[in-house]
Structure 1
Amino acid sequence: MNTIYLGLGANVGDKKKHIQKAIELLSQKITHLKQASLYESKAVGYTDQDNFINTVVSGKTDLAPQELLVFAKAIEKEIGRIYRFRWGPREIDIDILFYNDRIIKQSDLEIPHPRLHQRDFVLVPLNELASDMMHPVFKKTIRQLLQAFPPENKSIIASEVGFNKTLLNQ
């Protein structure tokens, strides 16, 4: 079994419902799911859009990295994601943050996620689930990456307590 961490975000429609549905669908092929708190954050990149709701989930899977990517994209499609433009509005976005301690660089898949250290809406919930996990590229823990996060880049504006919820299947 492989340990994975996924970032989930939504800013179109019923954001919380889209995230809940994504987690429910993820449970079909991912066990031992745990979810961090939900965080509301300002959009990054293209900022003229609604705020996002973000979280991170961890779990175990037998899927290979490429299979996990295909599975995540199928869930995005099922929930109704429409690709508008880069960093545009989305019904749901599922990013593979970590897959064990693997480092993968392919045209359609990069693990660890190449910008996770630049996003507090990823680092803060990830820190809830795996503060001592070592980033395989930067050789720093998630806690250390969060502590080094520049305050001027902060995008989180609110949180909803739900720390380390165990979900669905074990």
Structure 2
Amino acid sequence: MRHSKKVVLALGSNLGNRRENLAAALGMIGDFCRVAYCSRIYQTPPVGYADQRDFLNAALAAETDCDPFELLALCKALESKIGRRATFRNGPRAIDIDIIFYGDLSFEEEGLTLPHPRWSERDFVKTPLLDLFESGALASGFPIGVREILERTARAFAPYSAF
């Protein structure tokens, strides 16, 4: 028997109708996750490759019965369905979906590291996570240290819109 796991996913888009891409992803994520809370949307500058449009970013807290690799495969399939095409590292994309936390699981295997290895370095991830934290959606079931990092995090961006 499978047990539900709390997960946090981060979403980003900077190609096409960015807000529509995020909304489509959120709707389709509901096919394999029970979304408990979604952050507001934030407009953020690109990181790593500056010559591209700003991103819209959001995060969501959910529960899933999928194991981590099933969840990753479903997220990648959803990215393809929305129109993500392989380009280059940090390049523009119609949608990006990252698993930030999978419960309190901490591991590194080929193709997946949990928690996401750079989440605490990225304001475009931490700012939407603050919404989840402030809502209570990250109150329990996540890695030790998340609360402390978010308590020290200043909101780097103003909200762009709500879903």
TM class, shorter-length: 0.7 to 0.9
Kindly state the Cα deviation for residue 32 of structure 1 after the two structures are TM-superposed.
3.4
Structure 1: which amino acid aligns with 2:19? K
Partner residue of 1:99?
Answer: 102
In 2, are the aligned partners of 1:5 and 1:97 still within 8 Å (CA)? yes
| Cα offset, 1:127, TM superposition | 1.7
Would you say 1:159 and 2:159 are equivalent positions?
yes
Unpaired runs of at least 5, structure 1: 166-170
In the other structure, the counterpart of 1:140 is 145
Deviation above 4 Å: which 4+ runs of structure 1?
A: 131-135, 147-151
Structure 2: 5+ residue stretches without partners: none
Say whether the 8 Å CA contact 1:36–1:57 is kept in structure 2.
yes
Distance 1:133 1:121, change over 3 A: farther
Judging changes above 3 Å, is the alpha-carbon distance between structure 1 residues 101 and 7 closer, same or farther for their aligned structure 2 residues? same
Which stretch of structure 1 is more off in the superposition, 70-79 or 100-109? Answer: 100-109
The amino acid across from 2:108 in the alignment is: K
From 20, 28, 39, give the equivalent of 1:17.
Answer: 20
Q: TM-score, normalised by structure 2?
A: 0.87
Q: Secondary structure at the match of 1:160?
A: strand
Q: How does 1:122-133 map to 2 (within 5 A)?
A: 122-130=125-133, 132=139
Residue 125 (structure 1) shift: 1.1
Determine the C-alpha separation between the residues in 2 that align with 1:101 and 1:93: 22
How many residue pairs get aligned? The number is: 156
Query: CA RMSD for the aligned pairs?
Result: 2.0
For normalisation by structure 1, the TM-score amounts to 0.83
Deviation of 1:160 after TM superposition, in Å, equals: 2.7
